[in-house]
């Protein structure tokens, strides 16, 4: 069977499972005894093993199988979670990510066996067996048999290990419900394991399964009759389980029992449900025994956790095609608006208004499809900070907020590397060592804050630390030493201008080079990448208190609102979100500071940029009154001198192509309604 058609689905789902595994392992490190988290780790490893086996990736399957063996022993209480064990599991995660990357690049998993990691997993198992197995008793669940109108059902006793026993007691103490659920399949069921898989999936959507009888592996191999029993921890009421399970085809009967701590002892016992029971009548079936043909189950209002939203994977090329169609529609709309003469009837105006509403709605709908939460990028950073904390021998805590903030998929795919640079710089350069922090009277734990929020048509991402801040004197001295600036220039530079030197290529203030940072290939790359995405970056710092890097990115790279202006006979577009205001300025009001034209507007000094000179556009006759468009990018402002204003338009950004992509000051082009091409100014380069 040709499995290549499923490769894309395999890769996408594997990435999701690996991200889930990463998050769960980090949680498990903080809560080693948390059974639901451990079950999630086991579930993900088990799912990856099955997926890899189905696709024929035997090396990946072998690694996850060995992981599963260790995780199974942890669940059974025979192995304790410690830092060494977690380090090995994180190595497994890295190896699995490498396998998936290899599959993406080559279509196969490669030749790496990761024998050393598999041996480490084997050593964990063998060391455990050398120490002897722990007793599996304590906490036997006693089940009282209940009568049934259809048949006499035998309900198994479920023996809990010490670990499972403690997990149940902990759950009960936190007001969770613990149920023993016995599921009976129709004896005509052909694919028992497939039906059991659906049952397990439904159970996992409502709670956490901590025990299965027979074992999950035996159920998968159909080594069971037509019934099996599980122990589940959940916030949900029994009615919800009944309704969910009895809706599954070929599930004939479900029996649910509560597990409680009896009396003052720590013995876990199972008791029959007495809620809403009728007096015993001949042939009456107790409420706990439910059949499909019986009465309706109760509905539960409110759940302890929301259901996962339904999603559909869409090929990005198809979205791009749809976006291009929307773009053409907008061009047609603009063209209609430009028609003059006798066509301006009421019907024509109504048609244009209707077309505008449709294109706006279509644009918004497509953009929402393209938008994904920044959580997709942020989720990889806690693990990275954990590893950096160990490597740098610093205690670091990463606090993230605004993960639900959405960005265009294209931007999301590109922003990861710049943020990695900023976070690594914060950990390595920004935060002091534990000893230095204690000497300064700071908390020994260094903090890094990663925030995201929407600001108008932009998304702002901040990377802040509470470390030592940026020493501008040190930057100035290093810049003079390297010949980047002269001593005279250094003496006239503002604090902010000095900080901006950090973004110069190959500039670094690190005393020593490490594999974390210090080679001077970080911040200039960050700035270049962010500006290529139509964004900008600025730095705020206080010596001794910390630094904040502020990244502003456009919500979308496809369609924007722009102000159309004239320069000579040519037309240009200025992104509307960068414009502060428009002023008519007298020539006599222009002043000079160090040969730079400036105007003073509301007590602010604003440099003047004559676009006709910068873009080499033929000059028009000088007027006494000039039009100045004031733009702002970050903390910087500038005034663009233009020959005329055309008006605001919604424009479609088109690439200049590979031959013209290197042109500075131009971010792209757009096609106007009359077919003319207008260039879009790159504010980042000009300001």
SS (H, E, C) 247-261: CCCCEEEEEEEEEEE
CA dihedral 219, 124, 30, 204 (to 10 degrees): 0
Look-up of token digits 């999630």: 40
pLDDT the model gives residue 290: 42
CA–CA separation, 455 and 464 (whole Å) = 18
- Point out the catalytic residue in the list 22, 23, 46, 102: 46
Domain made up of 162-258: CATH architecture: 2-Layer Sandwich (3.30)
Look-up of token digits 């350069």: 429
Higher-confidence position of 329 and 202: 202
In the chain, CATH 3.30.565.10 covers: 318-460
In the chain, CATH 1.20.120.160 covers: 3-126
- Do 169 and 144 touch, CB atoms closer than 8 A? no
The DSSP code for 635 is T
When mean pLDDT is compared across 30-39, 83-92, 567-576, the lowest value belongs to 30-39
Residue 673 has pLDDT above 80, yes or no: no
Higher-confidence position of 227 and 516: 227
Place 303 in a pLDDT band, splitting at 50, 70 and 90. Answer: very low
The verdict on whether 68 is a catalytic residue reads: yes
In the chain, CATH 3.30.70.1110 covers: 162-258
Average pLDDT for 631-652: 88
The rounded Cα 26 to chain-centroid distance in angstroms is 15
The verdict on whether 481 is a catalytic residue reads: no
**β 546-554/570-575 pair status:** unpaired
Average pLDDT for 436-462: 92
How high does pLDDT run on average in the chain? 79
pLDDT in tens, 381-426: 999 999 999 899 999 999 999 999 988 888 888 898 899 999 999 9
What does the radius of gyration of the chain's CA atoms come to, in whole angstroms? 33
Domain made up of 318-460: CATH architecture: 2-Layer Sandwich (3.30)
Look-up of token digits 């301006």: 344
Q: Which residues contact 426 (CB under 8 A, 6 or more apart)?
A: 448, 463, 464, 465, 467, 547, 549
When mean pLDDT is compared across 89-98, 654-663, 674-683, the lowest value belongs to 654-663
CA–CA separation, 562 and 565 (whole Å) = 9
For the ranges 343-347, 497-501, 522-526, the maximum mean pLDDT occurs at: 497-501
**Counts for the chain of helices (H) and strands (E), in that order:** 21, 26
CA–CA separation, 670 and 573 (whole Å) = 8
Q: Which superfamily is assigned to 3-126 in CATH?
A: HPT domain (1.20.120.160)
CA–CA separation, 533 and 525 (whole Å) = 13
Higher-confidence position of 312 and 337: 337
Residue 262 has pLDDT above 60, yes or no: no
Q: Which superfamily is assigned to 559-685 in CATH?
A: CheA-289, Domain 4 (2.40.50.180)
CA–CA separation, 458 and 684 (whole Å) = 14
Helix (H, G, I), strand (E, B) or coil at 3: coil
Exposure of 640 by Cβ count < 10 A (0-12 exposed, 13-18 middle, 19+ buried)?
A: buried
Residue 470 has pLDDT above 60, yes or no: yes
Q: Which pair of tokens denotes residue 394?
A: 């610093």
**Does pTM surpass 0.95?**
no
Neighbours of 325 (CB within 10 A): 12
Please provide the DSSP assignment of 293-356 as one string: TSPPPPP--S-SSPPPPP-----HHHHHHHHHHHHHHHHHHHHHHH--STT--HHHHHHHHHHH
Q: Which pair of tokens denotes residue 302?
A: 């409110």
Residue 337 has pLDDT above 80, yes or no: no
- Point out the catalytic residue in the list 425, 447, 458, 577: 425
In the chain, CATH 2.40.50.180 covers: 559-685
pLDDT the model gives residue 158: 65
Nearest to 56 by CA among 105, 16, 93, 2: 2
pLDDT the model gives residue 524: 83
Higher-confidence position of 264 and 605: 605
CA–CA separation, 168 and 72 (whole Å) = 17
The verdict on whether 46 is a catalytic residue reads: yes
- Do 199 and 136 touch, CB atoms closer than 8 A? no
Place 469 in a pLDDT band, splitting at 50, 70 and 90. Answer: very high
pLDDT the model gives residue 686: 87
Average pLDDT for 189-205: 84
Residue 55 has pLDDT above 90, yes or no: no
CA–CA separation, 262 and 140 (whole Å) = 12
- Point out the catalytic residue in the list 23, 29, 40, 68: 68
CA–CA separation, 639 and 629 (whole Å) = 5
pLDDT in tens, 73-103: 888 778 888 888 999 999 999 999 999 999 9
């Amino acid at each position: 069977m040709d499995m290549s058609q499923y490769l894309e689905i395999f890769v996408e789902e594997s990435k999701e499972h690996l991200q889930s595994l990463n998050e769960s392992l980090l949680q498990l490190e903080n809560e080693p005894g948390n059974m639901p988290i451990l079950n999630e780790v086991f579930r993900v490893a088990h799912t990856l093993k099955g997926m890899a086996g189905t696709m024929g990736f035997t090396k990946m399957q072998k690694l996850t199988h060995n992981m599963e063996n260790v995780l199974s022993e942890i669940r059974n209480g025979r192995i304790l979670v410690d830092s060494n064990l977690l380090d090995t599991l994180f190595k497994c995660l890295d190896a699995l990510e490498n396998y998936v990357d290899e599959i993406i690049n080559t279509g196969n998993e490669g030749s790496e066996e990761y024998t050393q990691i598999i041996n480490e997993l084997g050593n964990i198992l063998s060391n455990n067996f050398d120490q002897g197995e722990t007793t599996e008793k304590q906490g036997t669940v006693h089940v009282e048999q209940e009568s049934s109108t259809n048949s006499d059902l035998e309900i198994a006793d479920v023996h809990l290990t010490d670990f499972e026993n403690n997990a149940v007691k902990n759950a009960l103490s936190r007001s969770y419900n613990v149920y023993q659920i016995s599921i009976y399949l129709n004896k005509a069921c052909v694919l028992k394991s497939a039906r059991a898989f659906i049952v397990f999936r439904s159970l996992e959507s409502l709670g956490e399964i901590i025990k299965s009888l027979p074992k999950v592996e035996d159920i998968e191999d159909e080594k069971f009759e037509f019934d099996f029993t599980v122990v589940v921890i959940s916030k949900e009421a029994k009615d919800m389980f009944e309704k969910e399970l009895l809706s599954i085809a070929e599930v004939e009967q479900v029996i649910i029992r509560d597990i409680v701590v009896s009396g003052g002892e720590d013995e876990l016992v199972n008791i029959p449900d007495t809620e809403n029971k009728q007096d015993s009548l001949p042939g009456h079936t107790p409420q706990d025994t439910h059949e499909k043909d019986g009465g309706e189950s109760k509905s539960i209002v409110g759940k302890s956790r929301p259901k996962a939203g339904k999603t559909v994977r869409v090929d990005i090329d198809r979205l791009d095609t749809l976006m291009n169609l929307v773009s053409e529609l907008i061009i047609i709309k603009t063209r209609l608006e430009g028609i003059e003469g006798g066509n301006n009837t009421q019907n024509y105006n109504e048609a244009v208004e209707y077309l505008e509403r449709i294109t706006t709605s279509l644009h918004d709908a497509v953009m929402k499809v393209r938008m994904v939460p920044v959580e997709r990028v942020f989720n990889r950073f806690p693990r990275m900070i954990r590893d950096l904390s160990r490597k740098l021998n610093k205690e670091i805590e990463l606090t993230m907020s605004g993960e639900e903030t959405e960005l265009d998929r294209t931007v999301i795919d590109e922003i990861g590397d710049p943020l990695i640079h900023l976070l690594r710089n914060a950990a390595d350069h920004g935060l002091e060592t534990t000893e230095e922090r204690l000497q300064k009277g700071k908390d020994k734990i260094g903090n890094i804050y990663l925030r995201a929020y929407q600001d108008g048509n932009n998304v702002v991402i901040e990377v802040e630390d509470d470390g030592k801040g940026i020493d501008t004197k040190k930057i100035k001295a290093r810049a003079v030493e390297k010949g980047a600036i002269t001593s005279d220039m250094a003496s006239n530079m503002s604090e902010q201008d000095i900080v901006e030197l950090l973004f110069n290529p190959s500039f670094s203030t690190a005393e020593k080079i490490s594999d974390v940072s210090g080679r001077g290939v970080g911040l200039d790359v960050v700035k270049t990448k962010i500006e290529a995405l139509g964004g900008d970056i600025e730095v705020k710092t206080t010596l001794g208190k910390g630094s904040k890097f502020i990244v502003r990115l456009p919500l979308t790279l496809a369609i924007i609102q722009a102000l159309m202006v004239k320069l000579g006979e040519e037309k240009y577009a200025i992104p509307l979100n960068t414009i502060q205001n428009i002023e008519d300025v007298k020539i006599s009001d222009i002043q000079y500071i160090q040969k730079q034209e400036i105007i003073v507007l509301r007590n602010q000094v604003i440099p003047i940029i004559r676009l006709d000179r910068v873009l080499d556009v033929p000059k028009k006759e000088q007027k006494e009154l000039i039009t100045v468009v004031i733009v702002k990018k970050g903390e910087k402002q500038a005034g663009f001198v233009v020959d005329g204003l055309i008006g605001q338009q919604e424009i479609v950004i088109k690439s200049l192509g590979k031959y013209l992509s290197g042109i500075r000051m131009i971010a792209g082009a757009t096609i106007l309604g009359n077919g003319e091409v207008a260039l879009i100014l790159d504010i980042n380069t000009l300001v």
